[in-house]
C-alpha cells in the first residue's frame, strides 16, 4: 500500500467516525424544532459527499493532483456553507470543524488561500453560532471566541504541517539529484575503468607482442638479404615469444615477469635475444634480487621498451641494462648512439608521436609511484633511468 493510499484510508476512517458521532448527537440532543435531527443528518451527509466525491482525491501531503482554482473555491464554499447550516441549527455541529478545516488546507492552492478561507470560515461560523440562539450577545461572543480559537489553532497547525511537507519535498528533490549524480558517477567510473583497461592492454600489446612482431619483421628482411639460417631460427624464437606473451595476456598473467625464473634471469635473456636479433652487444648487470611481482612487470617492460628504442632510434653500437635495488629499484638502460640532445625528466616530450612507447612507459612508472628520466650519456648515446620506490608489505616474487 502506497503512502498516498494510506493517507486517504486514514481520512476515510476519520470522516466515517465523525459522521457516526454527528448522527448519534443528532438523535440524542433535544431537537430545536420538528425534524431538526434530520436536517443535521442531511448536513453531515452533505459534508461527507463533498469529501468523498470532491475533496478526497486532493488529501495528500506527498503527491497527487492539485485542484484547479474554480474547483478549489467551490469545494471550500460548499464545506463552509454546510458547516454554517449545521451550526445554525445545532451549535454542537461546530464539531464538524475538525474535518472541515483540514479539508480547507488540503484543497487550497496556496498557503495564503488556506489562511484566508480559514479566517472567512471563522467569521461565518461566528454568525451561524449566534444565529442558533437568536443572535444573543452571549452566543455571538461565544461563537467569536470558539471559532477564533479554532482558526488560530488551524492556522498554526497548518503552517507547521505545510513546512514539514516542504522540507520533505526538498529532501526528496535532493535525494533524486543525489541518486542521479551517483548514477552519473557510476557510469563515468565504468567508462574510466574501461578506458584504463584499454590503455593497459594497449601498453601490454605494444611492449610484448608488438615488439616481438617488430623483431620478426626485421629478421625476415635480414633473412631475405643474406639467406641466413640463423635469422630463420631467430624468427622462430621471436614468434614463440610473441605466442607466449599472447597466451599470458589471454589468461590475465601479464604481470608475470617471467614464468621460468627471476627478473634478473629475464633481463639476461632479453639482452641475449636482443643481441642475437640486432647484432649489438648488450651487457646486463642484475643480481638475483627480491622485487615485488607487480614491480617486476614494470621494470621488465621498461627494459623491453628501452632496448626497442635503442634499435629504432639510437644508431648505437652497444647497449647495457643495469638493475640495482636498495630502498628503490633503479633500472638504467643506456647506449652509445646519437643521444637526445638534452634532459627530459619523467620522459616529458620523449613520447611525442611515439604511440604507446615511451609515453606508455612513463604511464606505467607513474602508476607505481616511480619516475622516469631520459638524458644524454656522459660520453655519447642516451641513458634512460627508471626509479621505483619499494613498498613494504607487497607480495614478493
Task: Write out the three cell numbers for 64.
Answer: 497527487
Hunting for cell 548514477 — which residue is that?
A: 183
Q: Which of 383, 222, 381, 225 is nearest to 315 (CA)?
A: 381
Contact 104, 114 (CB under 8 A): yes
Domain locations along the chain: 3-180, 280-397
Say if residues 119 and 80 touch (Cβ distance below 8 Å).
no
**Is residue 212 within 8 Å of 186, Cβ to Cβ?**
no
Of 52, 42, 48, which is closest to residue 90 (Cα–Cα)?
42
User: Please, which residues bridge with residue 375 across strands?
Assistant: 343, 383
DSSP state of 167: H
Strand runs labelled E in the chain: 282-285, 319-325, 328-335, 343-345, 371-376, 382-389
How far is CA 359 from each of CA 192, 203, 362, rounded to the nearest angstrom? 19, 9, 5
Which candidate, 248, 289, 247, 252, places its Cα nearest to that of 397? 289
Q: Provide the pLDDT for residue 291.
A: 80
Q: Comparing C-alpha atoms, which of 168, 166, 49 is closest to residue 110?
A: 166
C-alpha cell at 156: 498554526
Could you tell me which of 76, 99, 96, 74 has the C-alpha nearest to residue 10?
Answer: 99
- Secondary structure class of 396 (helix, strand, coil): strand
- Summarised one tens digit per residue, pLDDT across range 228-265 is 666 667 776 767 776 666 665 554 444 444 444 588 88
Distance CA 122, CA 151 (A): 6
* Helix, coil or strand: residue 54: helix
* Sheet order of strands, 343-345 included: 282-285, 319-325, 328-335, 382-389, 371-376, 343-345
Number of other CB atoms surrounding residue 14 within 10 Å: 14
Residue 381 contacts by C-beta under 8 Å, 6 or more apart in sequence? 314, 316, 334, 335, 336, 337, 338, 339
pLDDT in tens, the chain (397 residues): 566 667 777 778 877 887 888 888 777 877 777 777 788 888 888 888 888 887 877 776 556 677 888 888 998 899 899 888 888 888 888 888 888 888 888 888 888 988 999 999 999 988 988 888 778 888 888 888 988 898 899 899 888 888 887 787 788 888 888 988 888 888 787 777 777 766 666 666 655 666 666 667 666 766 666 666 666 677 767 677 766 666 655 544 444 444 445 888 889 988 888 888 788 899 999 877 778 888 888 898 889 888 888 887 777 888 999 999 888 899 999 998 887 765 455 444 444 344 446 777 888 888 888 999 888 877 778 899 999 998 643 444 4
User: Cell 601490454 appears where?
Assistant: 204
Sign of CA dihedral 48, 49, 52, 56: negative
Q: Find out if CATH 3.90.1150.10 is the number for domain 280-397.
A: no
Report the alpha-carbon distance of residue 281 to residue 278 in Å, rounded.
Answer: 9
pLDDT digits 0-9 by tens, 93-119? 888 888 888 888 888 888 898 899 999
Amino acid at each position: 500500500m502506497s503512502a498516498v493510499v494510506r493517507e486517504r484510508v486514514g481520512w476515510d476512517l476519520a470522516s466515517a467516525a465523525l459522521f457516526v458521532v454527528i448522527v448519534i448527537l443528532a438523535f440524542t440532543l433535544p431537537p430545536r424544532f420538528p425534524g431538526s435531527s434530520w436536517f443535521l443528518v442531511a448536513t453531515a451527509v452533505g459534508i461527507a459527499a463533498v469529501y468523498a466525491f470532491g475533496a478526497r482525491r486532493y488529501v495528500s501531503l506527498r503527491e497527487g493532483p492539485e485542484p484547479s482554482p474554480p474547483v478549489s473555491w467551490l469545494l471550500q464554499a460548499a464545506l463552509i456553507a454546510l458547516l454554517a447550516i449545521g451550526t445554525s441549527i445545532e451549535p454542537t455541529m461546530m464539531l464538524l470543524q475538525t474535518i472541515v478545516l483540514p479539508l480547507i488546507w488540503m484543497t487550497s492552492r496556496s498557503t495564503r488561500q488556506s489562511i484566508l478561507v480559514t479566517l472567512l470560515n471563522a467569521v461565518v461560523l461566528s454568525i451561524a453560532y449566534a444565529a442558533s440562539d437568536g443572535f444573543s450577545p452571549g452566543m455571538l461572543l461565544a461563537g467569536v471566541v470558539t471559532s477564533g480559537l479554532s482558526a488560530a489553532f488551524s492556522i498554526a497547525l497548518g503552517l507547521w504541517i505545510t513546512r514539514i511537507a516542504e522540507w520533505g519535498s526538498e529532501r526528496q528533490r535532493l535525494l533524486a539529484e543525489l541518486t542521479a549524480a551517483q548514477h552519473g558517477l557510476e557510469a563515468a567510473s565504468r567508462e574510466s575503468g574501461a578506458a584504463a583497461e584499454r590503455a593497459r592492454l594497449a601498453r601490454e600489446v605494444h611492449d610484448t607482442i608488438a615488439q616481438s612482431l617488430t623483431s620478426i619483421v626485421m629478421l625476415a628482411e635480414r633473412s631475405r638479404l643474406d639467406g641466413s639460417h640463423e635469422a630463420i631460427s631467430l624468427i622462430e624464437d621471436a614468434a614463440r615469444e610473441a605466442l607466449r606473451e599472447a597466451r599470458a595476456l589471454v589468461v590475465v598473467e601479464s604481470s608475470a615477469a617471467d614464468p621460468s625464473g627471476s627478473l634478473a634471469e629475464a633481463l639476461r635473456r632479453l639482452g641475449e635475444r636482443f643481441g642475437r636479433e640486432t647484432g649489438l652487444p648488450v651487457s646486463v648487470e642484475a643480481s638475483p634480487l627480491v622485487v615485488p611481482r607487480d614491480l617486476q612487470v614494470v621494470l621488465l617492460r621498461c627494459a623491453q621498451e628501452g632496448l626497442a628504442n635503442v634499435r629504432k632510434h639510437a644508431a648505437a653500437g652497444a647497449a647495457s641494462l643495469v638493475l640495482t635495488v636498495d630502498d628503490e629499484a633503479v633500472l638504467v638502460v643506456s647506449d652509445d648512439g646519437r643521444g637526445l640532445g638534452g634532459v627530459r625528466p619523467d620522459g616529458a616530450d620523449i613520447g611525442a608521436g611515439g604511440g604507446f612507447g615511451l609515453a606508455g612507459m612513463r604511464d606505467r612508472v607513474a602508476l607505481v609511484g616511480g619516475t622516469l628520466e631520459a638524458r644524454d650519456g656522459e660520453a655519447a648515446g642516451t641513458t634512460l633511468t627508471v626509479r621505483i620506490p619499494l613498498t613494504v608489505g607487497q607480495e614478493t616474487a
